[in-house]
Structure 1
């Protein structure tokens, strides 16, 4: 039996849990959020991704109730939440610092919000035990925060945030304080917990890899605007602009002018005295239009000898090599001065490189490997 694909955003009848409608947020003369419209659906793990100062944390603070929109409307479950104070919203926020109470045990930290709500002792105990089990912290229940590791503290903060069963959990750079290996492990724990609880998670991050790993959808932001909202695979494979292509992962961008050479087929003239590159696109382009070809390094093959029967073949010289353990990236300078990166998986142990610095090489890619962009 096939499991149905989770994609409420593709269902025209699905009602969003969160709706930003033409939201603007200004601080004096500075516009942090600029006429932004966005829907986020129940059970999504949604990532707000962008560089520092792009407005992603401001969006989260408006959802939490710490900021109010200057213009526009924010709805949660169909209700305008502008007049609802932070402590009355079905929303919880987990901060980067975790903000645990140092004098309280792990158990008491998780119980804190439930006690504030006046729940009875048996209900609190049962809920805390559920949260300890969910986050695998039963053994550490009586310890204080300083007696456990950074990753465990992160799980305590998560358990405390989920204890009150919020409709929505906001995570502000939640893994920023962890080292790389622990961050990677914790990403998968977060995904597992989100799936088990069914809570809608909205995460703010500037880490592209983190967003690509955990999110059902990603909103790539810049200067208070959303540049693209889509699933991680489409953001990576079908970016809608040079900004998005360049922000997510590694990419080669070749600029030039286009001429049509068949149905949905174009020639990109990228350098004088060089044969044009051919590329396919369903987007409409006109002859003579400026365009950019975005192509990922892993889609570029590198050859010592000139191959036959390839769609796009360019000659060049190896300028640099980056050895990354599992991958090697070759920086190849073309006759026009452009540098194109070709990435090869190191499937065998390297005893001697076939291709090295200053070698004359050929690079190639298929007709459909690149994405033509007009902005």
Structure 2
């Protein structure tokens, strides 16, 4: 999705489709959602991302109408949806299990909700035909669910969910049952279908790669709170906390104390007898304030000699190597005992590695490669 064209969250004149306002949900003593305020816009593909038990499924169940907020208000298109029963909401939910009717054909599964809504037969035929075409299932219309593959069943469930043209489609771990390659292909299909229909999708996932691939924006959650809401590139490049930096992708975290050395420029004193590290940050740190420097492994270079112009360079020893085909990750042990991961792309076929275990190496990175965090 082209972020420059599609960014309603940056437009003060745009009204959100969904609004959570100070929503809290308790189950007895347990607080599943803790004073949550969040806006989701029309035509977004919005991802709720977090570990098990962080509250993302509870949020989705409140949108669907299976749970009600203990406090606060949820609005859909400007209306408080609490009094509206699930079957009267312009919302549909697709479950991880797909919940298809095994005795009905693909066609009948897709038509099921339309028939219950008393749609005229000709209109049902047209609408199911549209959905079969959209999900590329025309050839399978007469088959039963057990006669098609997992990926095709997933598309039947999607077609059935979209048949009634909901304003909002909720997807609960929709690709959990698919193998890795099929998941990847299906992620792009989902994005394509979402863009063609213009329906707002909200997906719940604990798979960070999935969230980063499909979503226009991602909400990273922890213990019932939203830690950061942003576009995937900002979540990755500019996390607002150690939790978010650590949850998305691989990261090195160096703890230290910050000292200002210029506008938005800091030195991080991180180890006795080691030169301070340089970092840029728009956040203000007072001198001596505890800080965390987060650096992604792919932003760290690994060399045999100290690079002459390196802003940050530390010597260490290769402790471990993970060869991942397209990448090699070197675990470099510093004199302090800390392990830093540095990643190199394997752009050529190599007969031997540049570095091997126990080699003395230098790791280096620029003054803007890391993100300085205060929590």
Give the structure-2-normalised TM-score.
0.99
What is aligned with 2:261? 261
What is aligned with 2:199? 199
CA, structure 1 residues 355+157, in 2 after alignment: closer, same or farther (shift >3 Å)? same
Matched positions, count = 374
> Could you tell me how far apart the structure 2 residues matched to 1:7 and 1:176 are?
29
> Could you tell me how far apart the structure 2 residues matched to 1:254 and 1:136 are?
49
What is aligned with 2:349? 349
**Structure 2 residue matching 1:318: 3-state secondary structure:** strand
Task: Give the drift of 1:306.
Answer: 2.0
CA, structure 1 residues 3+79, in 2 after alignment: closer, same or farther (shift >3 Å)? closer
What is aligned with 2:58? 58
> Could you tell me how far apart the structure 1 residues matched to 2:5 and 2:333 are?
43
> Could you tell me how far apart the structure 2 residues matched to 1:179 and 1:321 are?
27
**8 Å CA contact retained: 2:3, 2:216:** no
What is aligned with 2:222? 222
**Structure 2 residue matching 1:322: 3-state secondary structure:** strand
What is aligned with 1:176? 176
Q: After TM superposition, list the pairs within 5 Å mapping 1:33-182 onto structure 2.
A: 33-182=33-182
What is aligned with 2:292? 292
What is aligned with 2:31? 31
Task: Give the drift of 1:305.
Answer: 1.8
Structure 2, unpaired ranges of 5+: none
What is aligned with 1:233? 233
Task: Give the drift of 1:350.
Answer: 1.9
**Structure 2 residue matching 1:186: 3-state secondary structure:** helix
Task: Give the drift of 1:342.
Answer: 0.3
**8 Å CA contact retained: 2:32, 2:223:** yes
Structure 1, unpaired ranges of 5+: none
Task: Give the drift of 1:4.
Answer: 5.6
**8 Å CA contact retained: 2:299, 2:342:** yes
Task: Give the drift of 1:261.
Answer: 1.1
**Structure 1 residue matching 2:102: 3-state secondary structure:** coil
What is aligned with 1:209? 209
**Structure 1 residue matching 2:107: 3-state secondary structure:** helix
- Counterpart check, 1:302 vs 2:294: no
Deviations 1:87-143 (A, max 9, x none): 000000000000000000000000000000000100000000000000000000000
CA, structure 1 residues 3+39, in 2 after alignment: closer, same or farther (shift >3 Å)? closer
Give the structure-1-normalised TM-score.
0.99
> Could you tell me how far apart the structure 1 residues matched to 2:212 and 2:147 are?
32
**Structure 1 residue matching 2:184: 3-state secondary structure:** helix
RMSD value, Cα: 0.9
- Counterpart check, 1:330 vs 2:300: no
Task: Give the drift of 1:70.
Answer: 0.2
Q: After TM superposition, list the pairs within 5 Å mapping 1:233-252 onto structure 2.
A: 233-252=233-252
Deviations 1:38-97 (A, max 9, x none): 000000000000000000000000000000000000000000000000000000000000
What is aligned with 2:320? 320
> Could you tell me how far apart the structure 2 residues matched to 1:3 and 1:164 are?
28
Task: Give the drift of 1:3.
Answer: 9.5
